[in-house]
Structure 1
Amino acid sequence: MDNQLMPREQLGICAEGNLHSIYLMLNAKEGAEPALKASLATVAQHLFESSDTHSDCAFNGFVAIGANYWDSLYPLARPAQLAPFPAMSATHIEAPAVEYDLFVHLRCDRYDVLHQIANECCQMLDGLVDISDEERGFRYQDSRDLTGFVDGTENPKGQHRQQVALVGAADSEFKGGSYIHVQKYAHMLPKWQRLAIKKQEDIIGRTKQDNIEYASADKPLTSHIKRVNLKDADGNSLEILRQSMPYGSMTNQGLMFISVCCNPSHFELMLRSMIHGDGHGHHDHLLHFTRAVTGSAFFAPSLDFMLRDLD
């Protein structure tokens, strides 16, 4: 099949889950763009090749460019729906915007290989960027959040992951790319653990031990699942692919929430439903026990887009 019609996606976008992750939020040094564009393409190619070299430990990764920085790096073409992070706030609840120029997302089932490749990426970008934030994630038990509930149960499966996550022919120049939204959530675990298990389950909308979703009629309107499982006017699910993982230490821990999608509107509608609810005061009560401390919007173009037009 003609590769021009099927650009190569960055393999970390739709990858299955891993044991470990590294998240690098980078800001470009002033005047770095001419060299940075080529170096980023080198990093993306390295990640693509490393997925094969280290297939035994399921390494994968991707590079994404911030919504506010995109035009500095690629002034001649812009993804049709790329926009800054949709910051929102309501009484005692906030989803702030903290934008970065670049996001490097790395995952692997071997921590040493993950650390090695992260070092190699940073060396390729040395002198061009500053590391503004770094977090290391990990699989917790059987893919649970630190709240104790299974995370990502609603994720699309198989080839449907690509359909949900990757831009299609409607924006042909950016086919194979993905809109990325990242929020670092800091959990209030002592407050959460003081709740009775049934109260926790009502807040999530699932049972804790067996991960059984409540019947629709039994889900509180303030439950997390009720607020994020949305449908359009025709009854179609507004899906995203979640690539989230727990992160942190004993003093600062929570969830790195990562949404990858073929459009940014699904994430924005979910966030609005969580923060502002249904217009009748039914917002997501999980937000009483976790706090978003960042919110960033990126676009991860196809590997072929990043490699084109390089000298």
Structure 2
Amino acid sequence: MTQPQKGVCAEPNLHAQYLLLNVVDDDSQAVRAKLARVLEIFDHHENEHYEAMVTGMIAVGANYWTELYPGLIPTELTPFPDMQCEDRSAPVMPCDLFIQIRADRLDICHAIGIEVMELLRLHTELVEQIRGFRYLDGRDLNGFIYAADNPRGMKRREVAIIGDDDKDFAGGSYIHVQRYRHDLRRWLSLAPRQQEQVMGTTQEHNLPSPEQSASSHCVRASGKGIGEDIPSLLKQGMPYGDMVSQGLFFVSCAASSQPFKAMLHSQIYGNGEGDYDRWLDYTSAETGAAFFAPSIAFIKQQSLL
């Protein structure tokens, strides 16, 4: 199989830098060449600071793909799904490029980010920058384990990476990102039992809660299709925050764009019987964008055209 970008299936890190960018000039050839150089920046820091477990990922927005890479288009690359039901919504914030930098050292994430931004300075404008961090033993800021149902080992690659059956885009991955902002003051006003009912798992050991229901977060946001043992997408997001605002920067990687759309529909619209994801009463998405992360070989080959 064509080599995917290392950041797609990477194991969890302690720190992340997420960069959302728009391209501001028409020199697509220059941008293609610069993106290949971004891969070189990732490789340099991975080799220079091997103990930091550096990984990176470059993904191209659904609305920008044909401008950057004229010709073939990933089959399922479509704009971010715009969904809304009552007071629950998935707002869209289209961006041309998404760059994910992760490492076990915050200073290395910062150094790579600065280098990448300087390289792309003449061609892009920064739309948003988010610093993610590991919270306790891999929890969201609500106190519950995040993405505990993620596939493990080689299953991560099977779920997140397009196989050789799609030779044009083998090694690539469909990426969806959202920035959620939590209302932790309201969340913390709930009793522990009420929190476990909303999430559907116990807080301490992440076991199925006796209070689990069809509207519990673990049910509505599992990413599992009918008859599937593991989710059809890999969640790579991390908490972010300061003393003013806190939340989760959600990132999913998958071999198809359909699992994310199905999961989001399950959260917002529910099962048709009023059972939507109750966690959405305490957090709200403020951004949303769809991208495709091509294989390393694809990015390098296209940079020569």
1:79 to 2:74 alignment = yes
- The aligned residue for residue 3 of structure 2 is 8
Contact kept, 8 Å, 1:11 with 1:48, in 2: the verdict is: no
Residue 53 of structure 1 is matched in structure 2 by 48
Q: 1:17 aligns with which of 9, 12, 15?
A: 12
Distance, in Å, in 2 between the alignment partners of 1:255 and 1:88 is 19
Partner of 2:101: 106
Equivalent in 163, 175, 188 of residue 193 of structure 1: 188
* Aligned partners of 1:45 and 1:303 also within 8 Å: no
Name 1:277's counterpart in structure 2: 270
Secondary structure of residue in 1 paired with 2:7: coil
Query: 1:195 and 1:301, CA in 2 relative to 1: closer, same or farther beyond 3 A?
Result: same
Deviation at 1:30, TM superposition (A): 2.7
**Alignment partner of 1:308: what SS?**
helix
- TM (norm. structure 1) is 0.94
Over the residues paired in the alignment, what is the CA RMSD in angstroms? 1.4
SS in 1 for 2:144: coil
Equivalent pairs counted in the alignment come to 304
Measure, in 2, the Cα distance between the counterparts of 1:233 and 1:29: 43
In structure 1, C-alpha distance between the alignment counterparts of 2:51 and 2:228, rounded to whole Å: 41
Match for 1:298: what amino acid?
F
How far residue 172 of structure 1 moved from its aligned partner, in angstroms, is: 1.0
TM-score (normalizing by structure 2): 0.96
**Alpha-carbon displacement from aligned partner over 1:121-180 (angstroms, at most 9, x marks no partner):** 111112010011001011111111000001010000011110000011222111111000
Structure 2: stretches of 5+ with no match in the other structure = none
SS of the residue 2:287 aligns to: coil
**Map of 1:137-152 to 2, 5 A cutoff?**
137-152=132-147
Aligned match of 1:294: 287
CA distance in 1, matches of 2:202, 2:229: 25
Distance 1:87 1:192, change over 3 A: same
Question: Structure 2: how far apart are the matches of 1:230 and 1:159?
Answer: 18
Q: Percent identity?
A: 41
Q: Which residue of 1 aligns with 2:176?
A: 181
Task: Please state how far the C-alpha of 1:238 moved relative to its aligned partner.
Answer: 4.1
SS state at 1:297 partner: strand
Instruction: Please report how far the alpha carbon of residue 236 of structure 1 lies from its aligned counterpart in structure 2 after TM superposition.
Output: 5.3
Distance (Å, rounded) in 2 between the aligned partners of 1:134 and 1:310: 25
1:34, distance to aligned residue in structure 2 (A)? 2.2
Looking at structure 1, the residues matched to 199 and 255 of structure 2 have their Cα atoms a distance apart, in angstroms, of: 26
Question: For structure 1, which segment, 151-160 or 52-61, has the greater mean C-alpha deviation from structure 2 after superposition?
Answer: 52-61
Asked if residue 241 in structure 1 is aligned to residue 242 in structure 2, the reply is no
Cα contact 2:175–2:253 (8 A) shared by 1 = yes
| Structure 2 counterpart of 1:95 | 90
SS in 1 for 2:180: strand
Matched, 1:260 2:257: no
Shift of 1:45: 3.0
Moved more, 108-117 or 48-57: 48-57
Q: Hey, what's the Cα distance between the residues in 1 that align with 2:148 and 2:174?
A: 21
Distance 1:119 1:184, change over 3 A: same
- Tell me how far apart the structure 2 counterparts of residues 10 and 49 of structure 1 sit (CA, whole Å): 14
Partner SS state of residue 149, structure 1: coil
For 1:200, the aligned partner's letter is Q
Q: 1:253 offset after TM fit, Å?
A: 1.2
Output aligned runs, 1:206-221, within 5 Å: 206-214=201-209, 219-221=212-214
Structure 1 residues not aligned, in runs of 5+: 1-5
Superposed displacement of residue 231, structure 1: 4.4
* Structure 1 contact 79–171 (Cα < 8 Å) conserved: no
Does residue 116 of structure 1 match 2:111?
yes
